Amino acid sequence: MPEIVRKSFWERLNDIDRRIIFLILLVTVTLPLLLDLGGEIPPTSPVIRAHAAVEGLRPGDHLMVSIDFDATSAPELMPMLRAVLRQAFAKDVKVIMLGHLAIGLPLGHMALEQIAAEYDVEYGVDYVDLGYRPGFQAVMIAMGRSIEDVFATDYQGTPVSELPIMQNVRSYDDVELLFGFEHGAVIDYWVRYTQARFGQKMAFGTTAVMAPDAYPYLQADQIEGLVGGLKGAAEYETLIGRPGLGTRGMPAQEWAHLLVIGFIVVGNIGHYFTRKKREGGR
Amino acid sequence: MTRSRWASLIIVAIVLIGVPALTGGSAVLLDEPGTTDNGAAAPGEPPAPPCGVAAGDVPDDGGGAILVEWTHPERDAGLVRAYEILRYVAGEEPAVIGEALPSETSYVDGDARDGVEYQYVVRAVTPLGSAESTPSAPVSSAPQWFARSRLNVLILAGLFSAAVLLYVRRARRGIDLYVRKIPGLDAVDDAVGRATEMGRPVLYVPGIETVSEVGTLASLTILGHVARRVAQHGTPLEVPCADPIVMTTAQEIVRQSYTEVGEIDRYDPHRVAYLTYDQFGYTAGVDGIMVRERPEAVFLLGYFAAESLILAETGHAIGAIQIAGTKETSQLPFFVAACDYTLIGEELFAASSYLGREPVMLGSLVAQDLAKLWIVYLIVFAFAAGTIGALVSPDGTSFLTRLFEALRAWFG
Amino acid sequence: MGSLGTIIGTWLAGFLTLAILSFLYKDNPFYKLAEHIYVGVSAGYWLIYIAFFDVKPMLWDTFVSETGVEKWIILIPGALGVIMLSRWFPRTAWLSRWPIAFTVGVGAGLGVTANVQGYVVPQIRATMLPITGLNLVSLNNIVLVVGVVTTILYFYFSKPHKGILGGAAKVGIVFIMISFGASFGYTLMARISLLIGRLYFLLSDLLHVID
Amino acid sequence: MKRTVPLIITFLTGFFLVVSFFVPHEPFGALEQRLLVWFAIVSGFTMLLGVDSLIRSHVRKVAGRRPGWWHSVALLIGLAVTVVTGAIGFSRFGSPFHMQSPFMFLYTHSIIPLQGTMFALLAFFIASASYRAFRARNTIATLLLVSAVIVMLGRIPIGAAISHFFPAAQEWIMDVPQLAAKRGIQIGAALGAVSMSLRIMLGIERSYLS
């Protein structure tokens, strides 16, 4: 007979409004970000080596930074980029940015300006953004002879001959280290052309998915170091002593994982009890 | 029932046995590879040159390419920066035409003129100077008429095509063919029917790829069927497209379906519309259509990437019946989790045959089954041959082992 | 762009981010606005992108730089493209079936060989595995062969799933479900790092709550 | 004419692509590349039809003052501004994709965050889908659930901290049963795709132009 059946706790839990799930997830991810709950992530050898390569630069040395990713991999690669830029500026190392992904370069530029503002550095003197030129293989090879041949101007169109930072930089010979941030095949060309041909020292940050592919380069000592995924970024931040998105992101990542598993468990408990009730009522 | 339980039990047993075994065995994988010590003292003189330089025409190409290979005993010393490849024709000076990594022992010269005889020299470049090999024998490049490495593809594709045509012909002659139920496809008409009853529209999402992706073509053929049903019932049909070619093709198909059932006046081309080529812009737009138009039936058929779950969850939230299908194995789990019916891989391609129930089309399904059966036989045969061969003579000399290896080699 | 541009840009980005996130609560005018802006801007973006990276280099630049036959051959797809535009005029709209037929033909032609070469041949080869003795690899090989074979048989259409075929299909569905569960779980991490990226933007770049 | 010519075009295009696959000799070897370039050019023109369709449908909404018409105004403005900035970028910097181009400013501050946020919605939907869908209703659903949880745990450091079972099991499930089912599905789907392509090439399946 029809009557108002009060829903049991488990039934209500079963049909919970999904917005409550959204909210719990939001809180779970936001809290570790806000409160900096992440302990330090102990660095592993590939990251230690990458850090040491930058650390080995002396004031006035030139670090070339290549932006070879776009928005889809920014959550993983931006924390590394920030960490490397901070380390470089703190050591008075001069930064030359360029990139082989036209649509990704604006991201790198934003990070460069942001981090530069934290330090007492000046555009054109301590750092420069050369921008993008099409045809990355040709660009890589040509820079071995003359950077100015390819990048006659910086991203704003200022001739590099007018930029103090570029006065002593003619080719790879004057670049002490290259740090590439990669989410695709460009890394293979950096190694194949610039490392093999010109003996350029280089280190890379890659997405977690790409890292295994880049590992052989590290094992063969073709590259100085390798930072992979958000975890690698967290390790790098530990090494420079400036916790950032990597360090904060890792606990957020873990918590969210555990939360989703928790959801599955709770959903199943609810399912178990309501099924008992359904079967009992029959 | 009991059989499925047995099957699951077997699988669980395999998992339980397999995993601990792996836990024990994978310790090596977890180790950090040590840094190799590279501090060997550099000898004070240039290394020995590369040797055994051999050049030959690149097979299976349209000409214009020569493959150069060499060996270099000194390579392990870690001294070599790069190899330079030099080329010349008789009577000319050798000139550098390219470079190879220290780890490489071959180079493809893609700039050869067919019929011209070239000789190659490989030069090892080290900080202590460079060393040149003796030149290779003269060779020339030539184009080929048939890519022999693709012979296996030709044979397999040829056999399969023949089977399809054969069974299509048989079907034409009126032989009755059985096809098992595909739940997702049986639900297509129900879903359209329910939308009609509720007076709500039908939303058809043909994926985010263009027509060069076969999954999109499959989706478009199913669209024809859905559009006919929709036209018969007079239910509104929305087809937002992410690709303009898909849009024009879909417009043709939908218009044709309306014409066939004599309802061309009801056809509104503005409902088969382009949104944007941007993956997530399209997703945002389709989500908007879902929450505002409240379709009762949602079809997500074709090529999908990460947006699959965004679309399927929004569709679930508005309470629509959802029928999804794709061949992208990475997206299938999300459709299975959020949709009422999911067409998995081949079922998507079977759909147009199945829905049409045209004997001609069903013939091609039978041919596909035949091909699957043969693939299964082949895999099982190879398994048996390889296993028995290995057990009979573990040193790999038995006839069966060689047969097994030959079979594998034939497949590439 | 000066710093004012960056500030405006950051606030625009912040507004759009929040507007899209608000969809999780329910559809609302802000989401609707962001959605429409997204569709409009990205449609324009891809129009420019295709014009600049497809049509300009492939059609225009080729036509300008090539000499001889190539110069004229490249006009064929150009003509097909123009014919496609005949859809604007109802009387000539039927002509657009020619370029449509061409594009569908490309899809079909690629579909025949690419699927055999890309999937069938390498996957069969990779599944030709033996037992070589009592070891882990052999065990994995058995599981793999059984899994592939039964999954293939799950898709057998022209016989009822009874008897051996029925049994195989049931084992197949077990493998399929394990596979789907695993893929689902595997993707979780990447999705969450995307959310972390967005929240970090809001908390750091926009609100400056964290650095 | 209206029906036969398209069928012939489809057949010939498909046929030449197949020939090009097996015959490297000129002029066939380069046909595949050539036809793909043609395809890209045709789709470039078709993009005009797409944008035209988008504009018309929203102009109709604005003209008819349909509910929410001002959203359509926003869409049209967004579209127009993007195309105009693209043109400015092209004329002033030689490329719309130049860093200084206003087109890139728009890209950076609207498309990137929009894309990123839509993508990030997935984190929420994956949570709600797991809550709802992973229920131990029967043996098969239980397997789905168990393998998902094992892989989820195996991918985070905590999983390894609880037991080495999780990372190892995660790896094994991904490498063996997961791969097996994926292969089975792909082989079947590939056969389906080939037979579908054949039917289209030979005109047996012709719903796209019938």
Question: What is the ipTM score, two decimals?
Answer: 0.88
pLDDT, mean over chain C:
90
Answer yes or no: are the C-beta atoms of C151 and D180 closer than 8 Å: yes
Confidence bin at B397 (pLDDT 50/70/90): confident
* Residues D35 and D22 both lie in one domain: yes
* Domain count for chain D: 3
CA atoms within 13 A on the CB side of A266: 19
Asked if the Cβ–Cβ distance from C130 to B386 is below 8 Å, we say yes
Distance from CA of C211 to the nearest CA of D (A): 19
* Residues D4 and D57 both lie in one domain: yes
Instruction: Indicate if the pLDDT at residue A176 is higher than 90.
Output: yes
User: Cα–Cα distances in Å, from A251 out to A83, A246, B397, D148?
Assistant: 18, 9, 55, 21
Query: pLDDT at position B205, please?
Result: 97
Residue numbers in C near A24 (CB within 8 A): none
Cβ-nearest to B214 among D126, D196, D210: D196
Angstrom distance (rounded) from CA A63 to CA A159: 20
Read off the amino acid at residue D105.
Answer: F
Confidence bin at D209 (pLDDT 50/70/90): low
Residue numbers in B near A45 (CB within 8 A): 32, 35
Answer yes or no: are the C-beta atoms of B275 and B281 closer than 8 Å: yes
- Report the pLDDT averaged over residues D89-118: 87
Residue C115's nearest CA partner among B233, D189, B124 is: D189
* Residues D36 and D74 both lie in one domain: no
Residue numbers in C near B157 (CB within 8 A): 112-113, 116
What HEC string does A171-230 produce? CHHHCCEEEEEECCCHHHHHHHHHHHHHCCCEEEEECCCCHHHHHHHHHCCCCCEEEEHH
Asked if the Cβ–Cβ distance from D190 to C152 is below 8 Å, we say no
Angstrom distance (rounded) from CA A108 to CA B75: 38
Angstrom distance (rounded) from CA C76 to CA C60: 13
Instruction: Indicate if the pLDDT at residue A70 is higher than 90.
Output: no
* Residues D197 and D142 both lie in one domain: yes
* Residues D37 and D71 both lie in one domain: no
Taking residue B165's Cβ as centre, other Cβ atoms within 10 Å add up to 16
Q: Is residue D160 part of a domain?
A: yes
Tell me the longest C-alpha to C-alpha distance in chain C: 74
A103 close contact with D: CB closer than 8 A:
yes
Answer yes or no: are the C-beta atoms of D41 and C78 closer than 8 Å: yes
* Residues D150 and D194 both lie in one domain: yes
Query: pLDDT at position B257, please?
Result: 92
DSSP result, B87-119: EE-TTS--EEEEEE-TT--EEEETTPPTT--BE
List strands edge to edge, sheet with A202-206: A127-132, A94-99, A62-68, A177-182, A202-206, A225-228
Angstrom distance (rounded) from CA C80 to CA D6: 12
Query: pLDDT at position B29, please?
Result: 32
Query: pLDDT at position A3, please?
Result: 54
Angstrom distance (rounded) from CA B190 to CA B194: 6
Query: pLDDT at position B28, please?
Result: 31
What tokens appear for A74 in the block? 């920014």
Angstrom distance (rounded) from CA D84 to CA D92: 12
Confidence bin at B77 (pLDDT 50/70/90): low
What's C120's DSSP letter? I
* Residues D190 and D138 both lie in one domain: yes
Q: Is residue D195 part of a domain?
A: yes
Residue B316's contacts (CB-CB under 8 Å, 6 or more residues apart) are B322, B338, B339
Read off the amino acid at residue A216.
Answer: P
* Residues D94 and D113 both lie in one domain: yes
Residues facing B122 on adjacent strands: B85
The H or E element that residue B132 is part of is strand B129-132
Asked if the Cβ–Cβ distance from C45 to B278 is below 8 Å, we say yes
Answer yes or no: are the C-beta atoms of B338 and D129 closer than 8 Å: yes
- Report the pLDDT averaged over residues A162-184: 92
Read off the amino acid at residue B314.
Answer: T
User: Cα–Cα distances in Å, from A94 out to A88, A176, C35?
Assistant: 7, 10, 42
Element counts in chain D: helices (H) and strands (E): 9, 0
Residue with tokens 């024990």: B24
Residues facing A129 on adjacent strands: A97
pLDDT, mean over chain B:
85
What tokens appear for A165 in the block? 């930072």
Asked if the Cβ–Cβ distance from D49 to B143 is below 8 Å, we say no
- Report the pLDDT averaged over residues B17-26: 42
Residue D171's contacts (CB-CB under 8 Å, 6 or more residues apart) are B22, B26, D154
Confidence bin at B40 (pLDDT 50/70/90): very low
* Residues D43 and D72 both lie in one domain: no
Residue D156's contacts (CB-CB under 8 Å, 6 or more residues apart) are A253, A254, A257, A258, C189
Backbone angles phi, psi at A170, to 5 degrees: -105, -45
Answer yes or no: are the C-beta atoms of C14 and D110 closer than 8 Å: no
Residue B353's nearest CA partner among A48, D199, A213 is: D199
Radius of gyration of the CA atoms of chain C, in A:
27
Say how far residue C1 (Cα) sits from the centre of its chain.
34
Which SS3 state, helix, strand or coil, does residue D137 take? coil
Answer yes or no: are the C-beta atoms of B86 and B121 closer than 8 Å: yes
Radius of gyration of the CA atoms of chain A, in A:
25
Query: pLDDT at position B75, please?
Result: 61
Cβ-nearest to C13 among D95, D109, D141: D109
Q: Identify the residue among A248, A259, A265 best suited for mutation to test binding to C, counting C beta carbons within 10 A and taking the highest.
A: A248
Final residue in a domain of this structure, among D132, D157, D175: D132
* Residues D195 and D139 both lie in one domain: yes
Q: Is residue D210 part of a domain?
A: no
A272 close contact with D: CB closer than 8 A:
yes
Read off the amino acid at residue D183.
Answer: R
Which SS3 state, helix, strand or coil, does residue A52 take? helix
Angstrom distance (rounded) from CA C173 to CA C168: 9
pLDDT, mean over chain A:
87
Q: Is residue D106 part of a domain?
A: yes
Residue C94's contacts (CB-CB under 8 Å, 6 or more residues apart) are D2
Chains contacting chain C through 3 or more C-beta pairs under 8 A? A, B, D
What's D156's DSSP letter? S
Distance from CA of A191 to the nearest CA of B (A): 9
Chains contacting chain B through 3 or more C-beta pairs under 8 A? A, C, D
Confidence bin at B62 (pLDDT 50/70/90): confident
Answer yes or no: are the C-beta atoms of B318 and B340 closer than 8 Å: no
CA atoms within 13 A on the CB side of A59: 4
Instruction: Indicate if the pLDDT at residue C182 is higher than 70.
Output: yes
Instruction: Indicate if the pLDDT at residue B2 is higher than 60.
Output: no
pLDDT, mean over chain D:
90
Instruction: Indicate if the pLDDT at residue A182 is higher than 50.
Output: yes
Residue B262's contacts (CB-CB under 8 Å, 6 or more residues apart) are none
Q: How many Cβ contacts (< 8 angstroms) between chains B and C?
A: 220
Domain that includes residue D199, residue range: 134-204
Instruction: Indicate if the pLDDT at residue B6 is higher than 70.
Output: no
Angstrom distance (rounded) from CA B58 to CA B68: 9
Confidence bin at D68 (pLDDT 50/70/90): confident
Minimum mean pLDDT among A227-231, B371-375, C148-152, D8-12: which range? A227-231
Search chain B and give the residue with CA nearest A192: B101
Distance from CA of D180 to the nearest CA of A (A): 21
Cβ-nearest to B18 among C124, C143, C145: C143
A3 close contact with B: CB closer than 8 A:
no
Instruction: Indicate if the pLDDT at residue C138 is higher than 70.
Output: yes
Asked if the Cβ–Cβ distance from D107 to A106 is below 8 Å, we say yes
- Report the pLDDT averaged over residues A263-268: 92
Residues facing B123 on adjacent strands: B84, B132
Query: pLDDT at position B36, please?
Result: 34
Chains contacting chain D through 3 or more C-beta pairs under 8 A? A, B, C
Final residue in a domain of this structure, among D46, D61, D76: D61
* Residues D195 and D150 both lie in one domain: yes
Q: Identify the residue among B225, B280, B290 best suited for mutation to test binding to D, counting D beta carbons within 10 A and taking the highest.
A: B280
- Report the pLDDT averaged over residues B302-306: 92
- Interstrand relation of A225-228 and A202-206 (parallel, antiparallel or unpaired): parallel
Search chain B and give the residue with CA nearest D79: B276
Angstrom distance (rounded) from CA B376 to CA C172: 13
Q: Residue B27 burial (CB < 10 Å; 0-12/13-18/19+)? A: exposed
Q: Identify the residue among D114, D125, D132 best suited for mutation to test binding to A, counting A beta carbons within 10 A and taking the highest.
A: D132
Which SS3 state, helix, strand or coil, does residue B141 take? coil
Answer yes or no: are the C-beta atoms of D196 and B219 closer than 8 Å: no
Asked if the Cβ–Cβ distance from A248 to C199 is below 8 Å, we say no
Distance from CA of D176 to the nearest CA of B (A): 10
Distance from CA of D161 to the nearest CA of A (A): 12
User: Cα–Cα distances in Å, from D203 out to B237, D11, D207?
Assistant: 27, 8, 9
What's B356's DSSP letter? H
Residue B142's nearest CA partner among D88, D11, D25 is: D25
Read off the amino acid at residue C157.
Answer: F
What tokens appear for D179 in the block? 């791969």
Cβ-nearest to C193 among A30, A230, A244: A230
Query: pLDDT at position D108, please?
Result: 86
- Interstrand relation of B66-71 and B82-88 (parallel, antiparallel or unpaired): unpaired
Final residue in a domain of this structure, among D132, D152, D173: D132
Taking residue A267's Cβ as centre, other Cβ atoms within 10 Å add up to 22
The H or E element that residue C137 is part of is helix C136-154
Residue A26's contacts (CB-CB under 8 Å, 6 or more residues apart) are D124
A259 close contact with D: CB closer than 8 A:
yes
Is the Cα torsion angle B74, B76, B80, B82 positive or negative in sign? positive
Cis peptide bond N-terminal to D27, omega within 30: yes
What tokens appear for A67 in the block? 């932006």
Q: Identify the residue among C186, C193, C208 best suited for mutation to test binding to A, counting A beta carbons within 10 A and taking the highest.
A: C193
Residue B328's nearest CA partner among B221, B224, B216, B225 is: B216
Distance from CA of A56 to the nearest CA of D (A): 31
Residue C19's nearest CA partner among B283, D118, A22 is: D118
